Amino acid sequence: MARRPLPRILSNGGAQLARSRELARTAADSATDVLHPLITITRGLRRLAAAGRRRWAETPKEKRGALLFLLASVILVVALAPYGPLLAAITLMAAAAWQGRDGAAAAPEGPDESQRRRLESLYEALVPYFSTAEDPEPLYAHGGAWDKAFPTYAFDGGSRISHLVVRYPAYFADGETEARARIEHLLAAKSGRGREYHFTWDEEGNQLTVDVLSPLAVDIVAQRFVTAPGEIVLGFTDPTRVRRTLPLTCGEQRRDAPPVVWRTGLRSTEPHLLALGRPGSGTSSLLRSIALQALRHGDVVIVDGGGTGEYACLTGRDGVLAVECGLAGVLASLEWAAHETERRLIAANRAHQAGHPPPDDTRRPLWILLDRPTAFTHLAAADDREDPQSLLQVPLRHGRPVNVTVVVADQLDCLEMLSEPVRHHTRARVVLGPATREQVESVLGAPPHTTPVDEVPPGRGYARLGTDPVHRLQVPATPHPYDDATAEAHRQAVLDLLPPRTTPADGETVPAPAEAEPAPEPVPEPTEAEPVPEPAEAEPVPEPAEAEPVPVLTKPTPADR
């Protein structure tokens, strides 16, 4: 029995389907080639819009109004210019075509292999802290999905984490300082040492945001800051921590920087300051900076316990009452400061009782700056003399109403050697140099908001004014101008801020040097003085000769009577 042939549509169906697919692919390729410019421009417009949204999100809120005004001005100028809209459209299409080209394709989403391994390692390290056996659906588990725990992340050029959002379970004790410190230490170690990290805990959303802080500027030198009387610039900090900026001059550049301003005087809540640090951390530079700012409106008494002449440039300057390096001079100066504080208190109290304003001599600020006062404690004990720190009790307790301010700087390991009034009344605190988290917290009374690092430049540390938050601090470079290791630009900056040399107010020690200065001028005339003209004039001595007529005049008077 012969087989009947299959219909042609069934025998050649596969070939026809393949042919139709080829025709569809060819048509699609042709359409893509025809529409390629339109696709490129559309892709470029989308990328330009995304860049504009990012730029708008990064712009601070206080600057968005100016940005909108600028955009409106540009649109108005383009609309009024001849052929302005046409040229703007052509420019926009050209920019979109350039941004939408294949070579400008965006980077592939998601981390690469090295970044993925870093995130997986960080996730595995957090498992013991964020997991428990009773959790039915643990967010953290060995071999789990790290992308659920890290919804947002970013890396720098070296494939190190620069931004990270960490989700953690609700049962984690994020309100305990010890638990937070363990997580922060782990994240800082796993993300890369040698950088400062800022941690933001969102207790309501159970999220922790980790950001890498950029280093503070170290090129700021001592200069005249734009401040009001009674305001002292301790240094500069992050722009996100304060809402004020100061104009600065850094070489030939001018920029604004956020300062840490310490307000002193009658209405200050933190009238006295304590600065601690390791040797070479910049505490002496901080005291010089404070002294140069204080001399603009007040008088200064300086006690140098280091004995290295760090404040020799201030000796004999206008407003500098004393620069003491010896125990006897220190005791005398601090005793005078205590009596001066009492005198001001009495004068101000009498003026208040009489209904008069305080006298002018109680309004001028008086600054008592002490560098390493604990060095005199041993000397005073060995000499059976009074500890100089005991003389600070009156200025510390009663100095604020009469504009008397005390600033103490010492080494970090000498904190226990400071007297109780010094530790109790210095509520403005500064810690400079490398220090552990526990040391910073013991001095400032609160832990730092960043992770301390082991190597920092001089003048870098933390500051806290009373109960305010802890700020990162970079003290402006104020080196000793007479030191050979000081750069010429820094030396000249400090010398320009020094007051002129003038005589002290009492004038007791000045006549000697004033008379000694003209003495060298007649020195070249000893040959003319050898003929002894002066003794010849001294022999007649008219004064004793005139003394004889005096009794003669008294004798005839009774005879005449």
Lowest mean pLDDT of 374-378, 483-487, 499-503, 505-509, name the range. 505-509
Instruction: Provide the CATH topology of domain 231-497.
Output: Rossmann fold (3.40.50)
Q: In this predicted model, what pLDDT tens digit does every residue of 52-80 receive, in sequence order? A: 887 787 777 777 888 888 888 888 888 88
> What residue spans in the chain does CATH classification 3.40.50.300 cover?
231-497
305 is in an annotated binding site: no
Return the sign of the alpha-carbon dihedral for residues 337, 340, 342, 348: negative
Under a CB-based contact definition with an 8 Å cutoff, are residues 272 and 427 in contact? yes
Residue 244 marked ligand-binding: no
- 513 alpha carbon, distance to own chain's centre: 42
Q: What pairs with residue 366 in β-bridges?
A: 299, 404
Sheet of strand 460-465, all strands in order from the earlier edge strand to the far edge: 259-263, 231-236, 471-474, 460-465, 428-432, 273-277, 404-411, 366-371, 299-304, 320-324
Q: What is the mean pLDDT of residues 375-381?
A: 90
Say whether pLDDT at 221 is over 80. yes
Is 278 annotated in a binding site? The answer is yes
Residue 81: per-residue pLDDT: 87
User: Which tens digits make up the pLDDT trace of 81-103?
Assistant: 888 888 888 888 888 888 877 65
Lowest mean per-residue pLDDT among 20-29, 123-132, 267-276, 527-536 = 527-536
Output the pLDDT for position 18. Answer: 65
pLDDT band at 516 (very low <50, low <70, confident <90, very high): very low
282 is in an annotated binding site: yes
Classify burial at 176, counting beta carbons within 10 Å of its beta carbon; exposed 0-12, middle 13-18, buried 19 or more.
exposed
What share of the chain in percent tops pLDDT 90? Answer: 48
pLDDT of residue 476 exceeding 80: yes
State the maximum Cα–Cα separation within the chain, in Å, rounded to a whole number.
195
To the nearest 10°, report the CA torsion of 8, 9, 13, 16.
90
Query: Does residue 290 have a pLDDT over 60?
Result: yes
Say whether 279 counts as a known binding-site residue. yes
Strand order in the sheet with 196-202: 152-155, 161-167, 207-213, 196-202
Give the Cα separation of 373 and 185 in Å (integer).
35
What DSSP string runs through 488-542?
HHHHHHHHHHSPPB---SS-SSSHHHHHHTTTTTTTT-HHHHTT-HHHHHHTT-H
pLDDT digits (tens, 9 = 90+) for 421-444: 999 999 999 999 999 888 999 999
Burial class (CB in 10 A: 0-12, 13-18, 19+), 10: exposed
Structure tokens of 495?
Answer: 């010398």
**Per-residue model confidence as pLDDT tens digits over 23-57:** 777 766 676 666 677 888 888 888 888 888 877 87
Report pLDDT digits (tens) over 130-179. Answer: 988 888 888 999 888 888 899 999 888 777 888 999 999 999 998 888 89
pLDDT at 69: 86
- Rounded Cα distance, 463 and 241, in Å: 12
**Which percentage of the chain shows pLDDT scores above 70?**
83
- The response to whether 283 counts as a known ligand-binding position is yes
d(C-alpha 359, C-alpha 346), whole Å: 11
pLDDT of res. 33: 67
Q: Is 298 annotated as a binding residue?
A: no
Instruction: Evaluate whether 436 touches 461 at the Cβ level (below 8 Å).
Output: no
